[in-house]
Amino acid sequence: MNTIMSQNNGSLVSAPADFHELVRGNEDRLMALLTPVVRERNAVLDLSEVRRIDAAGIAALISIYGSARTAGHSFRVCNVTPHVAEILGLVGLDHILVTQDAVQIPPPAMQPCVECPAA
């Protein structure tokens, strides 16, 4: 997972390269990677490569959002694929989690990234 620091003490976080489904069985992995980040600063998760989400994935996003709020930070998602956006809209999370600002992440060779270790 790559993190790009921004000027407002926040981070744009890209999901791991092999992370195409936010479903039961891999939701814990995302929570382990992101929860420490949102406890330290604001974060926006790039979901451009995530094609599928289920109830476990939604619960993971809600849990990460709650951890961020408890720490006094914000958590949003961006670059949401149409199917994931539809699901988040059906459950009413589109207005809470999805930022409409499309964010471009530079290619790995060009981006100033740091590895975010799991807690």
Contact criterion met (CB below 8 Å) for 13 and 44: yes
Residues of the chain scoring pLDDT < 70: 1-9, 101-119
Residues facing 75 on adjacent strands: 43
Rounded CA separation 79/102 (Å):
6
C-beta neighbour count of 38 within 10 angstroms: 25
pLDDT at 9: 55
Rounded CA separation 6/106 (Å):
14
pLDDT at 104: 52
Q: pTM of the prediction? A: 0.77
Domain 2-115: CATH superfamily is: STAS domain (3.30.750.24)
Q: Any idea where the domains of the chain sit in the sequence?
A: 2-115
Angle between helices 27-40 and 55-70 (to 10 degrees): 20
pLDDT at 35: 95
Using CB atoms within 10 A of its CB, is residue 7 exposed (0-12), middle (13-18) or buried (19+)?
exposed
Rounded CA separation 72/103 (Å):
23
pLDDT at 77: 94
Beta strands in the chain (DSSP E): 2-5, 10-14, 21-22, 42-46, 52-53, 75-78, 114-115
